[in-house]
Structure 1
Amino acid sequence: MSAGGVTACRLNPITHGISRFARRSATVPMPNLRGKRPPRVNGVSIRYHQSLILLPAGTIYLIPPRLLSMTTVLIVDDSAVCQRVAGACVQAAGCDVRYAADGCEALESVNTEKPDIVLTDLQMPKMDGLELVERLRDVYPQLPVILMTGFGSEEVAARALRAGASSYVPKENLSKGLSEALRTVMSVVHAIQEREKVLAFLEESQSRFVLGYEPGGTQALVGYLHEQLKLLNYFDESTLVQLTTALSESITNAIDHGNLELDSDLREEDDGSYRDLGEERIQQPPYCDRRVTVMATLTQSEVKFVIRDEGPGFDPSSLPDPTDPENLLKASGRGIMLIRTFLDEVTFSEKGNEVTLIKRRDSIDGEGES
């Protein structure tokens, strides 16, 4: 879709998506489609209704504006000729195009233009495609990057894919391969955009979970919360892994040290006595009747988990400093170190049987803008 117009094209009626543009396509100004006789485009009469184009055969092809006008592709190549060739392919897919001559210029453009996809050559002056992928992965981890590879750059392309690139297209097959790669990556981009819309509507969401001693229960709950945050595009994947690792450690602590009252010193023995005692107490009162409650509260600015056990509690000030060299290698100190490292706030209740974990979104955004 171009400014002030709608692109008429034949699409694959089976996939209901923009799989490929037919040879016969044209752009018709929007005003000509309203209140007037249906125009003819390349000999085909069409009529306009909202975001639909109705063709004579009666097949309705949906062209959501977000699949066309809302996708911006930044093309990074030091060759003006290659820029034009790639630009023509991208525009044929209905996307807006921006250009940069090298990686340094691309980083500036990403910061100002906010493209949806980056399409980059690998061999460029100042900053090559591999370094660009690595830099974008650090600063904009959710921005997909498609590589344009030439003969002899296969090894570098493989390294770039391992570094976080989303796909690649051989330059010799650009006109055909790029359409396929763009379609795949665009579907991911638009799914993320839709999730971001839902997040914009979010004021507060609360969930309450109660865990006993079900085998795999902690892993199942942590996995569920991970997927819910991922669906909303709440954090990048590396942050989600850190957050859910800290959450898993906290729930495990509540079960083992809270409800089952297992002594941390037993873990240092490494003779199985720690786990054996836990298995015994799961069957014995009062331990067997205790539960762990997990409250998850999600807002636009932060996620908060409150984890409460039903044990006797402890004095939080008695916790050893996990960063102390004497405690760093102890099994009992690893969980606390991870929890305090990965989260913005960790607060214990006075009784010690409740811990509040907070991770803010602005702490991540701030890192991305620096």
Structure 2
Amino acid sequence: MIRSIKVLIVEDDSASLSYLEIILGKEGLNYKTATNGEEGLALFKEYKPHIVLTDINMANMNGIELLAAIKKSQPQTIVIMLTAYNSEDYVIEAMRFGANNYLKKPIFRDNIIGLLRKYKNIILSRNTHTKIQSFVKKHSFTMEIGNEMELLPYIINHLIESVDLIFKEDECMGIRLGLDEIIINAIEHGNLNISYIEKTQAIKNNALEKLHENRRNSPEHKDKKVTISFELNENFCEWTIKDQGKGFNPSLIPNPILTESTESLHGRGIFITQFQFDEMEYSENGTKVRLRKNISK
């Protein structure tokens, strides 16, 4: 059960708000609610939530304006936009203002809980001890990992340790979320050869962990690794993630805003990640992705 994070819901539609309260309440979550952007911002400053769920279309202060105010005040806060619009423009605008994810209405319980569990692991794995990475001018390393999903928060924590004094808090959170999406993609769709349809069905049946376990233990997949290379210099930080899967054609990646159903939560990781980095490039066969974040002078 998720009990250690605080959530703020900002929603002006009473039926939608009640629905979200029921979902979060049944999960034992700590949450507070607001019915418009201005009320939500005031409550945000008082309550200091880890995660905000906010509608986009609201009177007085809309969701985009609230998002901008939250990111200016507490950039490390995770903000999930709730939208009834099936428009690329609204989602892209929200992502550019720092939104971490989005959910299309009607919203499904498993989608919300899935995101909260994912972000909870990232929030709780943040490392707070004092570091001296800001003095480092050049640094590089390579690590090879297996396909154990439960270790990902700690692996990503290690990857972030080298840069968390170089970038601002919101940028570090964006890097965390982006690396999480790409490494999960490398494990699931690369090494374990789990298709979009297989993952969708497993999620519906609450059997994704079992699917992961079965593939990890199969002779075809058990020895496959993900290689992560990191390079830091005075101009940029760069991560390269390479899997040992069959690959795919990156040019055929669909736009999730235009193609995904309201029930679908996965399938958007690549789209979201591109907003967190200055450069994102797949190899021709799709087994390797390069992520670069430039260092401001």
Q: TM-score, normalised by structure 2?
A: 0.52
Looking at structure 1, the residues matched to 200 and 140 of structure 2 have their Cα atoms a distance apart, in angstroms, of 37
Name the CA shift for 1:329/1:282 in 2 (closer, same or farther; >3 Å): same
Unpaired stretches in structure 1, ≥5 consecutive residues: 1-133, 142-190, 366-370
1:144-194 superposed Cα distances (whole Å, 9 cap, x missing partner): xxxxxxxxxxxxxxxxxxxxxxxxxxxxxxxxxxxxxxxxxxxxxxx89x7
Check the 8 A contact 1:323/1:337 in 2, yes or no: no
Identity of aligned residues (%): 27
Query: Matches of residues 65-144 of structure 1 in structure 2 within 5 Å?
Result: 138=72
Q: Which amino acid aligns with 2:242?
A: R
Looking at structure 2, the residues matched to 350 and 255 of structure 1 have their Cα atoms a distance apart, in angstroms, of 18
Shift of 1:258: 0.2
Task: Give 2:270's match in structure 1, choosing from 336, 340, 345.
Answer: 336
Residue number in structure 2 paired with 1:250: 182
Unpaired stretches in structure 2, ≥5 consecutive residues: 1-67, 76-129
1:260-299 superposed Cα distances (whole Å, 9 cap, x missing partner): 0001123333213443222111111120010000001111
Check the 8 A contact 1:327/1:333 in 2, yes or no: no
DSSP-derived class of the 2:199 partner: helix
DSSP-derived class of the 2:248 partner: coil
Name the CA shift for 1:195/1:306 in 2 (closer, same or farther; >3 Å): closer
Looking at structure 2, the residues matched to 353 and 328 of structure 1 have their Cα atoms a distance apart, in angstroms, of 28
Looking at structure 2, the residues matched to 324 and 263 of structure 1 have their Cα atoms a distance apart, in angstroms, of 20
Looking at structure 2, the residues matched to 346 and 340 of structure 1 have their Cα atoms a distance apart, in angstroms, of 6
Determine whether 1:303 maps to 2:250. Answer: no
Looking at structure 2, the residues matched to 288 and 325 of structure 1 have their Cα atoms a distance apart, in angstroms, of 33
Residue number in structure 2 paired with 1:359: 293
Check the 8 A contact 2:280/2:289 in 1, yes or no: yes
Task: Give 1:218's match in structure 2, choosing from 152, 156, 159.
Answer: 152
Looking at structure 2, the residues matched to 255 and 359 of structure 1 have their Cα atoms a distance apart, in angstroms, of 23
Looking at structure 2, the residues matched to 243 and 328 of structure 1 have their Cα atoms a distance apart, in angstroms, of 26
Looking at structure 1, the residues matched to 146 and 133 of structure 2 have their Cα atoms a distance apart, in angstroms, of 33
Check the 8 A contact 1:322/1:337 in 2, yes or no: yes
Shift of 1:351: 1.0
The one of the two structures with greater contact order (alpha-carbon pairs below 8 A, sep at least 6) is 2
Looking at structure 2, the residues matched to 354 and 245 of structure 1 have their Cα atoms a distance apart, in angstroms, of 18
Determine whether 1:290 maps to 2:224. Answer: yes
Say how many residue pairs are matched.
174
Task: Give 1:318's match in structure 2, choosing from 228, 252, 260.
Answer: 252
Q: Which amino acid aligns with 1:244?
A: R
Q: TM-score, normalised by structure 1?
A: 0.43
DSSP-derived class of the 1:229 partner: coil
Check the 8 A contact 1:251/1:307 in 2, yes or no: yes
Q: Which amino acid aligns with 1:205?
A: H
Residue number in structure 1 paired with 2:60: none
Shift of 1:328: 7.4
Looking at structure 1, the residues matched to 291 and 225 of structure 2 have their Cα atoms a distance apart, in angstroms, of 19
Name the CA shift for 1:350/1:301 in 2 (closer, same or farther; >3 Å): same
Determine whether 1:239 maps to 2:164. Answer: no
Looking at structure 1, the residues matched to 289 and 167 of structure 2 have their Cα atoms a distance apart, in angstroms, of 22
Looking at structure 1, the residues matched to 263 and 279 of structure 2 have their Cα atoms a distance apart, in angstroms, of 23
Q: Which amino acid aligns with 1:352?
A: G
Structure having the higher Rg: 1
Check the 8 A contact 2:227/2:241 in 1, yes or no: yes
Looking at structure 2, the residues matched to 283 and 252 of structure 1 have their Cα atoms a distance apart, in angstroms, of 17
Looking at structure 2, the residues matched to 326 and 311 of structure 1 have their Cα atoms a distance apart, in angstroms, of 24
